Amino acid sequence: MEKYTINYQNGFTNEFSGTLEEAKLEALDGMSYTQASVSIEKDGEVVTTSRWYGVEPTQEDHDNNAVLEEIGGGFYGDWE
């Protein structure tokens, strides 16, 4: 099992053991309206990031599966 840190950029982090895909699901469960991107880190290095967009997603965003979570008039984009 790998160890990851989920950083919600709001002062809270979550230490997680499992696969990267499992860490992404765990991060999705913890996403909230912080207006900040969420990153998953391993050994202090960012592995992937879900960016915050402070606008409503377009139909094109939905069609391209670029939306992970819609919250408070904005959305978190797919993992980069």
Confidence of residue 59 (pLDDT cuts 50, 70, 90): very high
User: Domains of the chain: which residue ranges?
Assistant: 2-77
Q: pLDDT value at position 16?
A: 98
pTM value > 0.85: yes
End-to-end CA distance of the chain: 22
Q: Which two tokens stand for residue 16?
A: 């997680």
Confidence of residue 1 (pLDDT cuts 50, 70, 90): confident
Torsion of CA 14, 4, 79, 27, to 10 degrees: -30
- Provide φ and ψ at 51, rounded to 5°: -80, 145
Give mean pLDDT, residues 8-29: 96
